[in-house]
Amino acid sequence: MPTAARQISLFEDVPEPDTLSGFTVRESGRARRLSIKVYPRGRVEVVVPRRTRARDVQAFVEEHRDWIRQTRESFAEQHLPEPFRLPARIELRGIERTFGVQYRARTEARGVRYRQLGDIVVLSGATGDAAACVSALKRWLAGLAKRHFAPALKALAASTGLPYARMRVAGQKTCWGSHSSAGTISVNYCLLFLEPSLVRYLMLHELCHARHMNHSRRFWALVRRFEPDYRRLDRKLGESWKQIPTWVGIY
């Protein structure tokens, strides 16, 4: 499953393992060795310890090039490609709301703006530009996630006695959330698409890192103390990439 990272770094000079898109390198403070993750929609991620040299990453990818290609081909057989289309309706299970999306083109507009009117999100401007529309929708998702997740995280921290300094929202492509050494908890706005129990579990998981900045036995014992069903939830969270619409462009 995508796991929490202390820091993300991209090595732009490392070539992709083949012509498919989505090859990224993630620098993790918890990693002790290099590893490769292939996601069901074909994206490849190389996880490396801090201060790993770019040429070492390049050699590691080259060594595993055949495995990467075979794994991508295997996933492609199991999961048919989904065509990209802008949404007319967005269901956000994490906050139990559904929104309609309207597109209003404006001549000579260069960008796309959004407005939320009740249960309708209105995009106006250069709506013929799909990338600009997606960017506007992501800004809307980030703002919505911040309004709903901030009080939920604060309440969970109070009930568990697990502290954090602040919360930030982002659209991470590599993890559902993270907890920095400075006490900042980052949550992925894509959690809006998941069921509330998984949102709560992710927040609890990251709060427990206030005590243990690792995934040791003591860490999992603390998680189990507040959520006995953590194994099932953790496994389900790792499989929840399927719940993220293709247009979001994550996973």
In this structure, the answer to whether residues 137 and 238 fall within a common structural domain is yes
d(CA 114, CA 136): 6
End-to-end CA distance of the chain: 11
Query: For the whole model, what pTM was predicted?
Result: 0.74
Let me know: does 123 contact 133? Beta carbons within 8 Å: yes
Task: Tell me the residue length of the chain.
Answer: 251
Q: Residue 122: pLDDT band by 50, 70, 90 thresholds?
A: very high
In this structure, the answer to whether residues 152 and 223 fall within a common structural domain is yes
d(CA 60, CA 235): 28
Domain final residue, candidates 81, 103, 121:
81
Cα–Cα distances in angstroms (integers) from residue 123 to residues 33, 129, 133, in the given order:
45, 11, 7
In this structure, the answer to whether residues 124 and 239 fall within a common structural domain is yes
Percentage of the chain surpassing pLDDT 90? Answer: 55
Burial (0-12, 13-18, 19+ Cβ within 10 Å), 205 = buried
In this structure, the answer to whether residues 72 and 139 fall within a common structural domain is no
Q: For residue 184, what pLDDT is reported?
A: 96
Q: For residue 142, what pLDDT is reported?
A: 97
Q: For residue 94, what pLDDT is reported?
A: 96
In this structure, the answer to whether residues 210 and 168 fall within a common structural domain is yes
Per-residue DSSP letters for 127-150? Answer: TT-HHHHHHHHHHHHHHHHHHHHH
In this structure, the answer to whether residues 224 and 113 fall within a common structural domain is yes
Between 237 and 70, the more confident residue is: 237
Domain final residue, candidates 55, 81, 107:
81
For 139-151, the pLDDT digits (tens) are 999 999 999 999 9
d(CA 242, CA 27): 25
d(CA 76, CA 70): 10
Token pair of 236 as six digits: 């389900």
Average pLDDT over residues 36-62: 81
Please give the torsion angle defined by the CA atoms of residues 5, 38, 242 and 233, in that order, rounded to the nearest 10 degrees: -50
Q: For residue 166, what pLDDT is reported?
A: 96
- Structurally, the chain folds into a number of domains equal to 2
Q: Residue 21: pLDDT band by 50, 70, 90 thresholds?
A: very low
For 76-90, the pLDDT digits (tens) are 666 556 677 899 999
In this structure, the answer to whether residues 210 and 180 fall within a common structural domain is yes
In this structure, the answer to whether residues 32 and 138 fall within a common structural domain is no
Full domain range(s) for residue 170? 89-248
- The gap from C-alpha 101 to its chain's centroid, in whole angstroms, comes to 22
Domain final residue, candidates 29, 49, 81:
81
Helices and strands, counts by H and E, the chain: 6, 10
d(CA 235, CA 198): 10
